[in-house]
């Protein structure tokens, strides 16, 4: 199953989870683990998905000793309604993703797979591209650092039409401070929309934070910044969903 490094760097919902869960019993080489997270808000690629309000998240993972894995995750969201899509739009995000991790050398791991972001809801009252999005990804990690490239495979990207080929580049660090249980978190990401040439939708995001593992729980505090343009990232409530934000989370692996 995932190591604490990958739990931190590759968590699908963007929240750190450092504590190592108890080793689960394996059946035919498969193991099932999971996690639960409470957060002051849900940040995804520098953007608040809950307009700064609290989030509850859960994930379950199925992994094989050979490196294959499949995961299911869910979180509350409000960004579609906040964007003015309407009261019947999705209030929940459901993620399904899977792939293969190859530990090809000491401390080195290659990760390749696909991600499906689902936003079940009623969009019949608006004319918009479905927010549900499919991405393929390739990641490379060494010890406490990772680099991951994701590319949109679906026709649209989170409600943006004709956005296939758009990409996200993610460089993340989770540096442990000795045996103290403290970990320094750092991240930089770049969102690029294709076919538009320096699109106003393009932006960069960064994160700097600290996490502490205590009695099986992981407590994390992080500041994020996204240079999102008001013209395209301001919701119907008049707030830019990027900008500067501070998020606190408590996570438990099981």
Q: Using an 8 Å Cβ cutoff, are 205 and 46 in contact?
A: yes
Number of domains in the chain: 1
**Using one digit for the tens of pLDDT, what is the confidence trace for 29-38?**
889 999 999 9
Asked if pLDDT for residue 24 goes beyond 70, the answer is no
For residue 180, give the DSSP letter. S
**Average pLDDT score over the chain:** 89
25: number of CA atoms within 13 Å, CB side? 1
At 47, which CATH number?
Answer: 2.40.160.40
pLDDT at 11: 47
Query: For the ranges 14-23, 64-73, 96-105, which has the lowest average pLDDT?
Result: 14-23
Question: What would the two tokens of residue 120 be?
Answer: 């079940």
For residue 227, give the DSSP letter. -
Nearest to 168 by CA among 115, 131, 119, 220: 115
pTM: 0.89
pLDDT at 195: 66
Residue 108 bridge partners (DSSP): 105, 142
Structural domain including 249 reads 4-253
Instruction: Decide: residue 124, CB within 10 A, 0-12 exposed, 13-18 middle, 19+ buried.
Output: exposed
pLDDT at 28: 74
The CA radius of gyration of the chain, in Å to the nearest whole number, is 18
Question: What would the two tokens of residue 156 be?
Answer: 């649209």
pLDDT at 129: 84
């Amino acid at each position: 199953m995932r190591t604490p490094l990958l739990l931190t760097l590759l968590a699908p919902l963007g929240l750190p989870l450092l504590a190592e869960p108890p080793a689960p019993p394996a059946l035919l080489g498969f193991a099932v683990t999971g996690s639960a997270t409470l957060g002051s808000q849900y940040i995804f690629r520098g953007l608040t998905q809950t307009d700064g309000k609290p989030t509850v998240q859960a994930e379950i993972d199925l992994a094989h000793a050979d490196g294959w894995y499949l995961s299911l995750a869910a979180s509350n969201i409000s960004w579609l309604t906040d964007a003015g899509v309407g009261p019947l739009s999705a209030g929940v995000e459901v993620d399904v993703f899977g792939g293969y991790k190859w530990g090809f050398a000491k401390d080195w791991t290659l990760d390749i797979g696909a991600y499906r972001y689902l936003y079940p809801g009623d969009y019949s009252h608006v004319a918009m591209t479905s927010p549900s999005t499919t991405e393929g990804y390739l990641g490379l990690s060494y010890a406490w650092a990772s680099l991951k490239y994701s590319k949109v495979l679906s026709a649209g990207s989170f409600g943006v039409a004709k956005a296939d080929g758009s990409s996200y580049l993610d460089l993340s660090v989770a540096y442990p401070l000795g045996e103290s249980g403290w970990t320094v978190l750092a991240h930089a990401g770049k969102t690029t929309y294709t076919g538009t040439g320096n699109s106003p939708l393009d932006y960069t995001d960064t994160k700097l934070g600290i996490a502490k593992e205590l009695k099986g729980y992981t407590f994390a505090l992080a500041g994020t910044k996204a240079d999102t343009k008001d013209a395209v990232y301001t919701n119907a409530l008049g707030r830019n969903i990027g900008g500067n934000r501070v998020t606190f989370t408590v996570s438990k692996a099981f």
